[in-house]
Amino acid sequence: MPELSDMTLDEQVGQRLLVGFDGTNLTDDLKYLIGTLKVGGVILFAPNIESPAQVASLCADMQAYAADCGLPPLFISVDQEGGPVARMKEPLTLFPEGTPALKTREAARHFGSTTGRELFEVGYNMDMAPVLDVQPEGFSGIMEKRVFPGSPQEVGDLGVEVMETLEAEGVLAVVKHFPGIGRTTLDSHLTLPVLDTPFTELARTDLVPFEIAFDAGASAVMLSHIKYTDIDAQWPASLSPEVVKGVLRGRMGFNGVVMTDDLDMKAITCDMDTAARQIFTSDVDIALICHRSDRYETLAETLKSMATRFPGANALALGRILALKKKMAALAAT
């Protein structure tokens, strides 16, 4: 594993990008993303997936190419929550009722251990799960089929079971979507949801599962594309210094890896140059962008410019990312 001091600025900036790509094998463009743009991770979706054997070959080829380029191992991630969000299909084990059916710690452990083992066997090392969003009692929102049942405490407890069992099988867990999207009826894939819920209410409910996960050692968290007006009336959480520096890192003391949700979602209305500046100044470590476009290069160039101006902040972000990759290697070795 390279150390920060051994990495060029291009390599450092590339580690802050986690991207999607087109194809089912190691294409020339994927080689460009890894070898030239030097991305730190990739995420697979249904169009990238044909079979477990094909995924295993693709993952092995990507990791070998990154090593040949002198780069740290890639994060290779997938959304495998069960229910409606499960990119890998049969013959892997499916949990068709999804997270709402995981009503006991035993059920959550079974899901996490089974999913983690099967993902690890085909080459993944990161699952964008568990969902720690809380849906208020009697409320029907966009996350209804994706949330754990019960109180905020129960959501946190069940989420920690999934998180810990995924990682026991060698797959990093990314808890999401901070600071919580269980209250929204709008889809951030299509628009920017705005929540006026007072922060005191968020702290009493929505933040509780994340506090539980952080106390249990969560090392990565994904931000939502929701604007929480009582925290920051200007920016969605994914681009907000008030949410990340103020609440997540400041009030809650989280010092792990923070990543955006997909910057291709229509909730993100600013250009990628602006988004990259907000990511940097908000103390976000990784930009997640899932659909191939020239936005990748724009993000990289702006992050590089910001890193040149503020090398200390860039070094802190890279330190967190490399620490997570060392944890990833340690999990894989156990």
- Cα-based torsion angle of the residue sequence 205, 198, 256, 254 in order, rounded to the nearest 10 degrees: -80
Residues 6+ apart with CB under 8 A from 125: 73, 75, 76, 77, 170, 171, 172, 328, 331, 332
**Could you give the CA distance from residue 20 to residue 99 in angstroms, rounded to a whole number?**
25
Determine whether 261 is an active site residue.
yes
Tell me how far the alpha carbon of residue 25 is from its chain's centroid: 23
- Check residue 217 and report its DSSP letter: T
Question: Is residue 170 pLDDT above 80, yes or no?
Answer: yes
Residue 104's pLDDT band, with cuts at 50, 70 and 90, is: very high
At 129 the pLDDT is 97
pTM summary value: 0.95
pLDDT tens-digit profile of 318-330? 999 999 999 999 9
Which of the pair, 193 or 69, is modelled with greater confidence?
Answer: 69
Question: Is residue 267 pLDDT above 80, yes or no?
Answer: no
Residues 224-259 as b/e (b if ≥16 CB within 10 A, e otherwise) read bbbbbeebbeebbbbbbbbbbebbbbeebebebbbb
pLDDT, average across residues 194-219: 96
The active-site residue, picked from 22, 29, 68, 189, is: 189
Which of the pair, 264 or 248, is modelled with greater confidence?
Answer: 248
Report the candidate in 216, 302, 300, 227 with the shortest Cα–Cα distance to residue 256.
216
Residues 6+ apart with CB under 8 A from 257: 219, 220, 221, 285, 286, 320, 321, 324
pLDDT tens-digit profile of 47-78? 999 999 999 999 999 999 999 999 999 999 99
- The answer to whether the beta carbons of residues 47 and 96 sit under 8 Å apart is no
pLDDT tens-digit profile of 127-142? 999 999 998 887 777 8
**Could you give the CA distance from residue 29 to residue 291 in angstroms, rounded to a whole number?**
13
Instruction: Round the average pLDDT of the chain to a whole number and report it.
Output: 94
**Could you give the CA distance from residue 317 to residue 330 in angstroms, rounded to a whole number?**
20
Question: Which residue carries 């509780």 as its tokens?
Answer: 208
pLDDT, average across residues 99-121: 97
Report the candidate in 46, 162, 153, 164 with the shortest Cα–Cα distance to residue 95.
162
pLDDT, average across residues 156-171: 98
**Could you give the CA distance from residue 132 to residue 159 in angstroms, rounded to a whole number?**
6
Residue 155's pLDDT band, with cuts at 50, 70 and 90, is: very high
Query: What is the torsional sign of CA 100, 195, 248, 39?
Result: positive
Does residue 62 sit in helix, strand or coil? helix
Question: Is residue 217 pLDDT above 80, yes or no?
Answer: yes
Determine whether 189 is an active site residue.
yes
CA distances from 17 to 56, 150, 208, 259, 297 (A): 22, 35, 29, 9, 10
At 315 the pLDDT is 96
At 244 the pLDDT is 98
DSSP state letters, 280-317: HHTT--BEEE-S-STHHHHHHHHHHHHHHH-HHHHHHH
Share of the chain above pLDDT 70, in %: 100
**AA letter at 272:** M
**AA letter at 112:** G
The active-site residue, picked from 157, 206, 261, 283, is: 261
pLDDT, average across residues 26-43: 97
pLDDT, average across residues 163-189: 91
Query: What is the torsional sign of CA 244, 250, 251, 256?
Result: positive
Question: Is residue 263 pLDDT above 80, yes or no?
Answer: yes
